[in-house]
Structure 1
Amino acid sequence: MYVVTNRIELKKGFAEKMAPHFTQGGKIQELKGFKKIEVWQVDEDSDHDQMYVNTWWETQEDFNAWLKSDAFKEAHSGKSKSEEGESPVIGNKVVKANVLSTLN
């Protein structure tokens, strides 16, 4: 299993507004190796929101195919804007990991 987490810093109050955009479904669900998406809001006292968008894949190759797919381009073609026309995104970091062990 391969997990990719996009750690996104947002202006305060935007995590809950943006989270549904990542889990509304679409062509990603049809891709080989795709398992699921979860969006987390980090519980931390801060002057901004932290949101983790986690995607689970069977393999790293499946994730890399997503990055090159038309589905990826389509999912990322819209821009996130606030009412003022500015992006609420302050910054982000992508973390990739192989799952070595689990307990359910």
Structure 2
Amino acid sequence: MIIVTNTIQVKLGYGGFIRERFKTPKNVHTFPGFVRMELLQTESLEDHEEYQVCTTWDNKKAFDAWVQSDSFSHAHAERKEGDNSEMVIANKITLHEVIVSHLPAVSLESN
């Protein structure tokens, strides 16, 4: 399993645009090998806002297939059509291999 993180830095006051963009599920949620997406906001920054778009995939092959897909091209072409050049300071994409994962313990006792 892999987690792909897109860290997006935006000017102060523009975080609402990022939150709104990821509020509604897009085609990536239906793509084979997709596990989940989370939008995280970094706290306590004073000079900009920062978000991490984290997508979890069964494997890198599934992620690569998404990146090469028409759905990916279409989703990112829509983003380019909007003028976000004024609000985005920087972004960085990193891939992480999940080495260990723990889920909550489940009680066998019933109430």
The TM-score bracket by the shorter chain reads 0.7 to 0.9
The residue type paired with residue 91 of structure 2 is N
Name the TM-score, length of structure 1 as normaliser.
Answer: 0.87
Q: Equivalences for 1:72-91 in 2 at 5 Å? A: 72-78=72-78, 79=80, 80-81=82-83, 86-91=85-90
TM-superposed CA distance for 1:87, in Å, is 3.2
Contiguous gaps of at least 5 residues in structure 2? 104-111
* Larger Cα-atom Rg: 2
2:18: which partner in 1? Answer: 18
Deviation string, structure 1 residues 8-31 (Cα, Å, up to 9, x no partner): 110112223212312422221221
Whether contact under 8 Å (1:23, 1:38) holds in the other structure is no
CA distance in 2, matches of 1:81, 1:12: 17
Name the TM-score, length of structure 2 as normaliser.
Answer: 0.82
The residue type paired with residue 44 of structure 2 is E
Q: Equivalences for 1:1-104 in 2 at 5 Å? A: 1-78=1-78, 79=80, 80-81=82-83, 86-104=85-103
Kindly indicate which of the two structures has a greater share of residues assigned to strand.
Answer: 1
Q: How many residues align?
A: 101
